[in-house]
């Protein structure tokens, strides 16, 4: 599967390597295109997943502020609930297309 923003692939991995949470596909860190994400200072804490890290998507000239997020160290109960360790995996805003 691919995450595509403004015609540029910013992440790519086999579907079996992704984790699906609340309707979002989370890509493993190794699937991300180099330089596609820039850390954002936007704070957010999910009540059941824990503290999130937001990123702005910046690839090929186009930018999307806070267009991606990750849970670097999700709560252990979140990992149990999801059934997979999604530490550091990245999900994308709906403006980023997820395609097969």
Q: What's the rounded Cα separation, in Å, for the pair 59 and 57?
A: 7
The predicted pLDDT at position 62 comes to 82
The predicted pLDDT at position 60 comes to 77
Residue 67 · residue 57 · CB < 8 Å: yes
pTM of the model: 0.95
The predicted pLDDT at position 27 comes to 98
pLDDT-based confidence at residue 93 (cuts at 50, 70, 90): very high
Q: What's the rounded Cα separation, in Å, for the pair 15 and 38?
A: 24
**Model pLDDT for residues 5-63, shown as the tens digit of each residue:** 999 999 999 999 999 999 999 999 999 999 999 999 999 999 999 999 999 998 878 89
Fold of the 2-99 domain: 2.170.150
pLDDT for 81 beyond 80:
yes
Would you list the domain boundaries of the chain? 2-99
């Amino acid at each position: 599967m691919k995450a595509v923003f403004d015609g540029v692939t910013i992440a790519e991995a086999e579907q079996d390597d992704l984790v699906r949470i609340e309707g979002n596909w989370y890509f493993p860190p190794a699937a991300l295109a180099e330089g596609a994400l820039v850390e954002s200072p936007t704070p957010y804490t999910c009540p059941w997943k824990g503290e999130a890290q937001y990123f702005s998507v910046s690839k090929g000239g186009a930018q999307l502020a806070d267009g991606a997020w990750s849970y670097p160290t999700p709560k252990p109960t979140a990992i149990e609930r999801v059934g997979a360790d999604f530490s550091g995996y990245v999900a994308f805003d709906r403006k980023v297309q997820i395609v097969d």
